[in-house]
Chain A
């Protein structure tokens, strides 16, 4: 009765697990078909603008952040509970089974899926000892009792199964740990500039709830040169070929060491990873105001807008007097002007040019409010015009300068590359990887180890001792049972053991 109950409980929980697994597969799908806010916030807004009819509904049920939504969490939490609820009792059962000797020899060995019987020339004791020896050599657990030997092997199968399921739970634990303690930040660094691992330096930063700023490892990276090469052949023209950053790194207050960061070869500094995840151009410009003072000088990061690095950016000279000066425009690494207007036709800087227009207005008061460096707030500014009322726009190449109608000037001195570095720490990663590795090992054991039970009995007959041997497999897809039984019988002195019968499929 108790056995039946156990069987029933297991049956139902397996079924639950199965349904939960299928549900998990199902609920993961929408997130791969709809844009997701944590990954692509801009595409989410675009999508919502394009599909206003369903946007609010989708938003309400969390379809733009599927993997962070409560119902997704509900499914995997249920799965975890089911997994643990199923695994704990099985561990107890397994521990008990390990301590138990192989099951007693059944009465009728000839009813087993494979069996053999025959006369033996050996004495009962010799036959049993010989059979025991053979079984032990094959790494069976053996129990000798009276006139029979019982043997069993394949406990590793259940071990593997438990290991697999435990590792799965361990992996979930690793993921949770990682989510709570990890951090990831992005920062754009222009060639020749440096970055210190400090919250204030990041352009973008996200971290788990247990992260503390003190967890940031103190280091500084100088990006000396960034090299980018692109396909110039016919096929895949313009595709990326080489990205490398030659840097110097200083740990804490230590002396800088040289290093190189490549795609696929992040720099690891004190357990923190630094990846190259993007790049672009920064024209180096000098703005001189009508009074002849340098109002701004240096590289300005422009953000790429397409695969050929047509890049958008603004140059601000808030210190220009008598009026504020702002420039808005494009940097084109390989500039072409055609019906589409100015754009770039190749990602490398083969013919760089700057296309700008100029905004000017009364000097601004310091508000203290941070302002994006990538866009120009145009309140109180107007576009600069020439004396005859035309809007001032111009294109210049490196080395050129342009004098503006109000007496100021912009000189395009040079260009540099910038690279976007991603700094991340994933403290739980090793646990996740290790757990999945263990899971694979457990899975292999549970699927390839074949549990088998063999028995041999000596029966006294008037014609002398007679051997009966039989075997049972507890896994599908097993082969060689009949051979094992025949071999066992032969070891006990049965000569014509080939007449083994194997019943069933």
Chain B
């Protein structure tokens, strides 16, 4: 019964995020428009001031942006209600399978994003974040969905709570960090070529994006290390060995090593900047592979495997 009440807001949130993404897409499109009037002066200005030449277009940009954020807030409310009800219905913390993990982790991501919008006015994250949310929630409610069931005995452990909640939070952070890294790559390229215009002009400067990406990763990396440690301790309780090169364990390590390489790259001449940002993107790819690929393609001990 509650299960239905939990799925409904979850599905609703996926749809609302999709609408929010469309609003942000319209925002980007509207921000592009002024440039179609060839305006040499703008080219290479590189500032974060939008083209002030067309107040009406500017008005549209702001309007679509606001609609996007408002929709995201509504979506996030539905989403959080969905996650909480799922937990209530299952009578345990709602992260016992892939569906629950994705929805919980994205809930952390959307809350993090909304805090950034609220405290710092960072609406420029809107399009990529709503893209992530609508794809993620969309996949969750369609492909990953499973009905509620109690946990298998291997998951009955406090380490289950600690390990997975930390994993969900670091997942959220890695995704937001990767979004910042991708935006950095795009903006950096435009700055190098002197083609900062339209939406790109609304992004913070490349250096600031890089810095934000680093701050997010700086938070996520120790947490991810802890996730692996907690996982190893739990594995020792459950299976009597703390490390067994299970595919899931191996890919967590691969992810960890890639992010360690990212942190090293940031202090290595010739690697800082663009190449380091690519490592952050590679990191999130390995993270996702660990999550989706390993569950679906390989056989391991993790009872998450299979949907």
Could you say which residues of chain B place their CB within 8 Å of the CB of A264? 153-154, 156-157, 159, 234, 237-238
Could you say which residues of chain B place their CB within 8 Å of the CB of A40? 299
Q: Please, what's the 1-or-0 string for B242-283, where 1 marks a CB less than 8 Å from any CB in chain A?
A: 111111001101100110110111111111000000000000
A15 engages B229 (CB within 8 Å): no
B149 contacts partner chain A, Cβ-Cβ < 8 Å:
yes
Q: A18-B261, A240-B152 are in contact. Are A265 and B225 (CB under 8 A)?
A: no
Q: A21-B260, A433-B233, A476-B211 are in contact. Are A28 and B250 (CB under 8 A)?
A: yes
B240 engages A22 (CB within 8 Å): no
Determine how close the nearest CB of chain B comes to the CB of A228; give it in whole angstroms: 10
A240 engages B153 (CB within 8 Å): yes
List which A353-385 residues lie within 8 A (CB) of chain B. Answer: none
B236 engages A22 (CB within 8 Å): no
Q: A15-B268, A235-B147 are in contact. Are A243 and B153 (CB under 8 A)?
A: yes
Alpha-carbon gap, A264 to B207, bound state (A): 47
A433 engages B149 (CB within 8 Å): no
Q: Please, what's the 1-or-0 string for B270-305, where 1 marks a CB less than 8 Å from any CB in chain A?
A: 110000000000000010000000100111000000
Closest chain A residue to B156 by CB distance? Answer: A264
A39 engages B244 (CB within 8 Å): yes
B250 engages A275 (CB within 8 Å): no
Determine how close the nearest CB of chain B comes to the CB of A185; give it in whole angstroms: 10
A235 engages B149 (CB within 8 Å): yes
A112 contacts partner chain B, Cβ-Cβ < 8 Å:
no
B214 contacts partner chain A, Cβ-Cβ < 8 Å:
yes
Stretch from B32-40, B41-49, B215-223 contacting the other chain: B215-223
Could you say which residues of chain A place their CB within 8 Å of the CB of B233? 433
Could you say which residues of chain A place their CB within 8 Å of the CB of B243? 175
A57 contacts partner chain B, Cβ-Cβ < 8 Å:
no
Determine how close the nearest CB of chain A comes to the CB of B269; give it in whole angstroms: 6
B189 contacts partner chain A, Cβ-Cβ < 8 Å:
no
Determine how close the nearest CB of chain A comes to the CB of B149; give it in whole angstroms: 4
Secondary structure at the B interface, as helix, strand, loop or mixed, is helix
Q: A24-B257, A241-B153, A264-B157 are in contact. Are A436 and B225 (CB under 8 A)?
A: yes
Closest chain B residue to A239 by CB distance? Answer: B152
A25 engages B270 (CB within 8 Å): no
Could you say which residues of chain B place their CB within 8 Å of the CB of A43? 299
A100 contacts partner chain B, Cβ-Cβ < 8 Å:
no
B241 contacts partner chain A, Cβ-Cβ < 8 Å:
yes
A233 engages B149 (CB within 8 Å): yes
List which A33-86 residues lie within 8 A (CB) of chain B. Answer: 33, 36, 38-40, 43, 66-67
State the total of A-B contacts with C-beta under 8 angstroms. 144
Determine how close the nearest CB of chain A comes to the CB of B191; give it in whole angstroms: 13
Alpha-carbon gap, A277 to B301, bound state (A): 12
Could you say which residues of chain B place their CB within 8 Å of the CB of A184? 240-241
List which A256-295 residues lie within 8 A (CB) of chain B. Answer: 262-266, 273, 275, 277
A422 engages B238 (CB within 8 Å): no
Could you say which residues of chain A place their CB within 8 Å of the CB of B260? 21
Could you say which residues of chain B place their CB within 8 Å of the CB of A21? 257, 260-261, 264
Q: A240-B152, A429-B242 are in contact. Are A14 and B264 (CB under 8 A)?
A: yes
A250 contacts partner chain B, Cβ-Cβ < 8 Å:
no
B238 engages A263 (CB within 8 Å): yes
Q: Please, what's the 1-or-0 string for B82-111, where 1 marks a CB less than 8 Å from any CB in chain A?
A: 000000000000000000000000000000
B131 contacts partner chain A, Cβ-Cβ < 8 Å:
no
A273 engages B264 (CB within 8 Å): no
Alpha-carbon gap, A447 to B221, bound state (A): 10
Residue in A24, A33, A440 whose CB lies within 8 Å of B298: A33
A275 engages B240 (CB within 8 Å): yes
Q: Please, what's the 1-or-0 string for B224-235, where 1 marks a CB less than 8 Å from any CB in chain A?
A: 011011001110
Could you say which residues of chain A place their CB within 8 Å of the CB of B225? 436, 439-440, 443
Could you say which residues of chain A place their CB within 8 Å of the CB of B149? 231, 233, 235-236, 239
A235 engages B241 (CB within 8 Å): no
A322 contacts partner chain B, Cβ-Cβ < 8 Å:
no
Q: Please, what's the 1-or-0 string for A220-262, where 1 marks a CB less than 8 Å from any CB in chain B?
A: 0000000000010111100111110000000000000000001
Could you say which residues of chain A place their CB within 8 Å of the CB of B154? 263-264
A448 contacts partner chain B, Cβ-Cβ < 8 Å:
yes
Determine how close the nearest CB of chain B comes to the CB of A117; give it in whole angstroms: 28
Closest chain A residue to B218 by CB distance? Answer: A447
B150 engages A241 (CB within 8 Å): yes
Could you say which residues of chain A place their CB within 8 Å of the CB of B147? 234-235
B148 contacts partner chain A, Cβ-Cβ < 8 Å:
yes
A146 contacts partner chain B, Cβ-Cβ < 8 Å:
no
Q: A22-B261, A32-B247 are in contact. Are A11 and B269 (CB under 8 A)?
A: yes
A476 engages B261 (CB within 8 Å): no
A31 contacts partner chain B, Cβ-Cβ < 8 Å:
yes
Alpha-carbon gap, A179 to B226, bound state (A): 22
Closest chain A residue to B275 by CB distance? Answer: A18
Could you say which residues of chain B place their CB within 8 Å of the CB of A18? 261, 264-265, 268, 271
Could you say which residues of chain B place their CB within 8 Å of the CB of A275? 238-240
Closest chain B residue to A228 by CB distance? Answer: B153
Could you say which residues of chain B place their CB within 8 Å of the CB of A444? 222
A17 contacts partner chain B, Cβ-Cβ < 8 Å:
yes
Determine how close the nearest CB of chain B comes to the CB of A330; give it in whole angstroms: 25
Alpha-carbon gap, A23 to B176, bound state (A): 26
A241 engages B152 (CB within 8 Å): yes
A29 contacts partner chain B, Cβ-Cβ < 8 Å:
yes
Residue in A17, A277, A426, A476 whose CB lies within 8 Å of B242: A426
Q: A21-B261, A235-B149, A264-B154 are in contact. Are A440 and B240 (CB under 8 A)?
A: no
A341 contacts partner chain B, Cβ-Cβ < 8 Å:
no
A426 engages B236 (CB within 8 Å): yes
Alpha-carbon gap, A464 to B233, bound state (A): 67
List which A385-428 residues lie within 8 A (CB) of chain B. Answer: 422, 424, 426
Determine how close the nearest CB of chain A comes to the CB of B175; give it in whole angstroms: 19
A-B contact pairs, 17 of them (CB 8 A): A11-B268, A21-B257, A22-B258, A25-B258, A31-B245, A67-B245, A184-B241, A231-B149, A235-B146, A264-B153, A273-B236, A275-B238, A429-B236, A433-B229, A433-B232, A443-B221, A505-B207
- Identify the A interface with B (CB < 8 A): 11, 14-15, 17-18, 21-22, 24-25, 28-29, 31-33, 36, 38-40, 43, 66-67, 175, 184, 231, 233-236, 239-243, 262-266, 273, 275, 277, 422, 424, 426, 429, 432-433, 436-437, 439-440, 443-444, 447-448, 476-477, 505
- Identify the B interface with A (CB < 8 A): 146-150, 152-154, 156-157, 159, 205, 207-208, 211, 214-215, 218, 221-222, 225-226, 228-229, 232-234, 236-247, 250-251, 253-254, 257-258, 260-261, 263-271, 286, 294, 297-299
